[in-house]
Copies of this chain bind each other. A is one copy, B any other.
């Protein structure tokens, strides 16, 4: 419920292990905000590594080389920790919407810009919390708050899609389902990006936008040769059987 917001992660590659500001110097220095941010960021990292329920506050504290009560000095509960991580991630996406709102370009380009930022946010250190924060893990109040934020983003995407259909820059489609598909593909990055970090968040986002734009079906220019002619005939296949796949 704190209105402060975590700054986006420092530029450059994901820092491997940022030094804890707690043990930075022997004297206890008084930079509360800095330390609070460090607590939340450490929590995000641990949640990302081991999941919310499998991470104890002792784990997070150990990461920061402090003890559990110190965490509680900066935050009121474990739940709030998750919530703050969530908000930090979502805020990056909200910023993308604001940045794009007044641009004089077709809606599809504005949508692409938002999706690019979206993808990068999901690949950030807060991505996991943003995407996996379950209503079930949070109190009703926080759950409601999160739902509102999520819904806001969802409707922002739908609106851009509708505008794109209107201005002709986007293929006519069901805005709701399309928004679900786009957001889902991007959200899912948080699941596999931990294992496979061969690309940066920006590269992934770009690749996804390219895929969304083009679609699977070949464009006229690319389908000079009839697809049917090149189809491999298969041994035991039958076209009759294929009909039931449409059911």
> Which residues of chain A have a CB within 8 Å of any CB of chain B?
49-54, 99-100, 102-109, 111, 113, 116, 134, 136-137, 163-164, 166-174, 177-178, 180-189, 191-192, 204, 207-208, 210-220, 222-223, 225-239, 241-242, 245
Contact = CB atoms under 8 A, between A and B. Distances in A.
Contact of A177 (B100, B134, B184, B207): B207
Contacts of A191: 184, 187
A139 B234 CA distance: 41
Contact of A180 (B99, B192, B223, B226): B192
6 contacts: A104-B237, A104-B238, A169-B227, A173-B210, A174-B207, A213-B217
A239 B106 CA distance: 11
B214 A171 contact: yes
Given A136-B51, A177-B211, A106 B216 contact: no
A108 B227 contact: yes
Given A181-B211, A185-B188, A187-B191, 18 more contacts: A50-B136, A51-B134, A102-B234, A102-B237, A103-B239, A104-B232, A104-B237, A108-B216, A108-B217, A109-B242, A116-B245, A167-B232, A168-B227, A170-B217, A177-B204, A184-B188, A185-B185, A188-B188
Given A50-B136, A164-B216, A230-B168, A104 B239 contact: yes
A53 B82 CA distance: 15
A226 B107 CA distance: 13
Contact of A216 (B170, B223, B229, B232): B170
A35 to B, nearest CB: 27
B218 A215 contact: no
B171 A180 contact: no
A52 to B, nearest CB: 8
A238 to B, nearest CB: 7
